[in-house]
Amino acid sequence: MAQRATFPSNFVWGAATASYQIEGGHTDGGKGQSIWDKFSHTPGKIANGDTGDVACDHYHRYADDVALMSRMGLRSYRFSIAWPRIFPEGKGKFNRAGIEFYQRLVDRLLEHRILPFATLYHWDLPQALQEKGGWANRDVAHYFRDYAAAVYEALGDRVHHWITHNEPWVTAVLGYTTGVHAPGLADPRQGVAAAHNLLLSHGEAVLAMRDISAKGLHVGITLNLSPAYPASDSDQDVAAARKADAYQNRWFLDPVFKGRYPEDLLEMFGDLGTGIVADDLPVISVPIDFLGVNYYSRQIVRHDPAAPNGIGRVREPSSEYTAMDWEVYPDGLYTLLTRLERDYGPELYITENGAAYEDILTPDNKVHDDRRIAYLRGHLNACHRAIRDGAKLRGYFVWSLLDNFEWAFGYTRRFGVAYVDYQDQRRILKDSARWYRETISENGPELEEQA
């Protein structure tokens, strides 16, 4: 019998998804247009011209999907709420049919004893608010607070775990600075302002929710974090890695947990930082109950005078890479979790971790995704070691429950532990889903050699 890495008895085992990536039903139940509806319909933005119009059709199949979760032995499910279903214009008229969809979903989850974790924003901003400047407009932070309060009023009796934002770094950088995500802007100044307003909206939402009822409420924010390793011991590479850490990690961690922006980051921003309002920091740093961590890979950094801020990237040729071309590096998760404990100290959930591979559906309807199993096992072992060494890690959500719309990559990347046949919307459990079910029921994966 394999030895197991046993987790604490109350450890939360789950899987995660996001509204635009799985729901479809893009005009159903009075839903308004989101920036991703608009962006995905803009020629040239998404691989193969894919859109989330239908996606996994979860909007219509949610009951079957909850039954699938139950078959997988999941104890928890992290999903996101589509703001344009609740306020089709972003503010003003509340759409009852929109919230009823999530009430039905949550009721089903609870019937199956699956603990809901709801994310308020996973990137599908109402297009009407983009027309007012989107996250670069500070008013949108206040509209987000109102939206958060309305959703919490409607669902707070049955959902106790809330995440304000998913990966605000991605919203700001990919959406406003590089433009590969909706709304597709390439304006670094707006990127910095958007990041600040996202942080402000987070703090305002937490305060508003606590005002409504703090009883039983666990609220946090999810950040995409990635430790930066210098490519060599040279002072220049070490300094470049430190800058990469400021840009990737401390940009959001420090305002939320320390109430200040990192000095070295402000230096890097220079006059691009005009959207940063120091007076907002007390709201941004309102205490939260946990930090959600999305971890996929590390970064190896060298000094490169030709790269922005001198931050150059290095590829480790001996490593394995996923279909996203992301290095498989479980030890980076251990490094990250223990560093979060040392420097910030919050309770933690891994709110996303997983891998895309070129999965093949066999004629007898199987997907033998051994590499995904190895990826998950390696990362769970890293979690186990981090807990042993003091990290307050309370749960783990695999990304993702289902194959889904992978943003600019459309449907070309499969992250699910359940395979989706987009022709007929069949769900087929991959070997990794069976492995995960066993891991959950044993409360931990097979133990690996300790690093």
Positions in the binding site for ligand IFM (CB under 6 A): 18, 21, 167, 294, 352, 399, 406, 415
Rank residues 11 and 79 by Cβ distance to ligand IFM and give the closer one.
79
Whether 167 sits among the annotated catalytic residues: the reply is: yes
User: Any idea what DSSP says for residue 164?
Assistant: E
* Pairing of β 311-313 and β 299-303: antiparallel
Rank residues 149 and 333 by Cβ distance to ligand IFM and give the closer one.
333
- Tell me the two tokens of residue 151: 């959703």
Measured on CA atoms in the order 131, 136, 142, 143, is the torsion positive or negative?
Answer: positive
- Asked whether 139 and 193 are in contact (CB, 8 A), the reply is no
Rank residues 341 and 406 by Cβ distance to ligand IFM and give the closer one.
406
> In whole angstroms, how far apart are CA 231 and each of 228, 300, 301, 303?
9, 6, 5, 9
Rank residues 212 and 324 by Cβ distance to ligand IFM and give the closer one.
324
- Asked whether 303 and 233 are in contact (CB, 8 A), the reply is no
Whether 204 sits among the annotated catalytic residues: the reply is: no
Residue 20 CB, nearest distance to ligand IFM (Å)? 9
- Asked whether 219 and 162 are in contact (CB, 8 A), the reply is yes
Q: What count of residues does the chain have? A: 451
* Pairing of β 426-429 and β 115-121: unpaired
Catalytic residue among 23, 167, 204, 406: 167
Estimate to the nearest angstrom the gap between the alpha carbon of 3 and the chain centroid. Answer: 31
- Asked whether 380 and 335 are in contact (CB, 8 A), the reply is no
Residue 106 CB, nearest distance to ligand IFM (Å)? 21
Phi/psi of residue 310, nearest 5 degrees: 70, 15
Residue 205 CB, nearest distance to ligand IFM (Å)? 19
User: Any idea what DSSP says for residue 369?
Assistant: -
Catalytic residue among 23, 204, 341, 352: 352
Residue 17 CB, nearest distance to ligand IFM (Å)? 9
Separation CA 155–CA 248 (nearest Å): 33
CA angle 67-72-73, nearest 5°?
95
Residue 226 CB, nearest distance to ligand IFM (Å)? 11
Rank residues 117 and 269 by Cβ distance to ligand IFM and give the closer one.
117
Residue 417 CB, nearest distance to ligand IFM (Å)? 14
Q: How far apart are the first and last CA of the chain?
A: 22
Rank residues 219 and 401 by Cβ distance to ligand IFM and give the closer one.
401
Active site residues: 167, 352
